[in-house]
C-alpha cells in the first residue's frame, strides 16, 4: 500500500463516519423533540408559602374562600394542560416553573 491509498481510505472513512454520526444525532434529536411535544408543561405550586401569606386573623370563612381560589387556580391550570406539582414534593426546580404569587389574587 502506498501513502496515497492510505490517505484516500482515511478520508473516505472519516466522511462515512461523520455522515453516519450526523444521521444518528439527528434521529436522537428528533426523538427528543417528539417526547418534549408530548410532555405537558409543568407548574410547581408552593401551597405552604401561599398559606403563610393569608392575612393574619382571617376568619375561617375568609380562609376557606382563599383556599377555594387556590384550588380553582390549580383546576384552571390542569384544564389548560399543565402538570401541577406541590412544591413539598420537589427537591429542586428552576424559579420560572413556580406559580407566581399574583396568579391567584
pLDDT along the chain (105 residues), means of 10: 84 88 87 85 90 83 88 92 94 91 74
Helices (H), ranges, 2-43: 3-38
What residues does each domain of the chain span?
1-39, 42-103
Q: Check residue 1 and give its pLDDT.
A: 67
The C-alpha atoms of residue 69 and residue 77 are separated, in whole angstroms, by 12
CB 77 within 8 A of CB 48: no
**pTM metric for this prediction:** 0.61
The C-alpha atoms of residue 31 and residue 25 are separated, in whole angstroms, by 10
Q: Check residue 47 and give its pLDDT.
A: 87
Q: Check residue 89 and give its pLDDT.
A: 93
Q: Check residue 105 and give its pLDDT.
A: 66
Amino acid at each position: 500500500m502506498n501513502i496515497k491509498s492510505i490517505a484516500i481510505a482515511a478520508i473516505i472513512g472519516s466522511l462515512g463516519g461523520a455522515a453516519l454520526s450526523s444521521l444518528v444525532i439527528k434521529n436522537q434529536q428528533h426523538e427528543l423533540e417528539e417526547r418534549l411535544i408530548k410532555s405537558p408543561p409543568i407548574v410547581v405550586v408552593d401551597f405552604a408559602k401561599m398559606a403563610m401569606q393569608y392575612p393574619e386573623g382571617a376568619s375561617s370563612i375568609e380562609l376557606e374562600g382563599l383556599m377555594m381560589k387556590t384550588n380553582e387556580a390549580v383546576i384552571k391550570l390542569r384544564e389548560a394542560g399543565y402538570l401541577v406539582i406541590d412544591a413539598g414534593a420537589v427537591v429542586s426546580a428552576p424559579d420560572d416553573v413556580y406559580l407566581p404569587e399574583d396568579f391567584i389574587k
